[in-house]
Amino acid sequence: MNPPSTSKLITRSERLLPWMLPVCLLFFRGLADLTVLFTALVFLYRSYSQHDWQWARQIWFRFSLLFWAYLLLVNAPFGIAPVESLLYALAFMRWPLFAAALGYWLLNNPEPQRRFLISLLCVSLFIFIDTGWQYLTGWDFFGIPKFAQDRLTGPFRNPVPGTLMLRVGFILLFAGLLFNSLKPATRSISFATGLLAMGILLIFITGERMPFALYCAGALVVIAGLLATFPDKRRLILTGLAALLLFFALTMQLLPATTERTIHSFFDTLEQFGQSHYGEIFAAAVQTWLQDPVFGSGLHNYREACLLVIPSENSCGLHPHNLYLQLAAETGIAGLAQFLALLVSIVLTALQPLVRNKNWYAAALSLSVLGVSFWPLMAAPSLFNNWIAALVWLGIGWVLAMAQTLGRPGA
Q: What is the pLDDT of residue 5?
A: 62
List the one residue out of 281, 287, 266, 296 whose CA is nearest residue 382: 281
Residue 162 within a domain? yes
pLDDT at 29 over 90: no
Q: What angle do CA 19, 25, 28 make, to 5 degrees?
A: 120
Residue 184 within a domain? yes
Q: Determine contact, residues 261/396, Cβ cutoff 8 Å.
A: no
pLDDT at 3 over 70: no
Mean pLDDT along residues 1-26: 86
pLDDT, tens digit, for every residue of 271-310? 888 788 888 899 999 999 999 999 999 999 999 999 998 8
Residue 362 within a domain? yes
Q: Determine contact, residues 298/76, Cβ cutoff 8 Å.
A: yes
Residue 98 within a domain? yes
Q: What is the pLDDT of residue 236?
A: 96
Domain that holds residue 96: 5-260+336-407
Q: What is the pLDDT of residue 171?
A: 98
CA–CA distance from 102 to each of 46, 264, 370, 411 (Å)? 13, 39, 15, 20
Mean pLDDT along residues 213-230: 97
Residue 276 within a domain? no
pLDDT, tens digit, for every residue of 330-363? 999 999 999 999 999 999 999 999 999 999 999 9
Mean pLDDT along residues 23-51: 94
Residue 145 within a domain? yes
Residue 305 within a domain? no
pLDDT at 385 over 80: no
pLDDT, tens digit, for every residue of 42-71? 999 999 999 999 999 999 999 999 999 999
Number of domains in the chain: 1
Q: How many CA atoms lie within 13 A of 375 on its CB side?
A: 18
**Cα distance between residue 267 and residue 380, in whole Å:** 16
Listing DSSP states for 289-341 in one string gives HHHSTTT-S-TT-HHHHHHHH---TTT--SS-S-HHHHHHHHHHHHHHHHHHH
pLDDT band at residue 111 using 50, 70 and 90 as cut-offs: very high
Q: What is the pLDDT of residue 411?
A: 66
Residue 321 within a domain? no
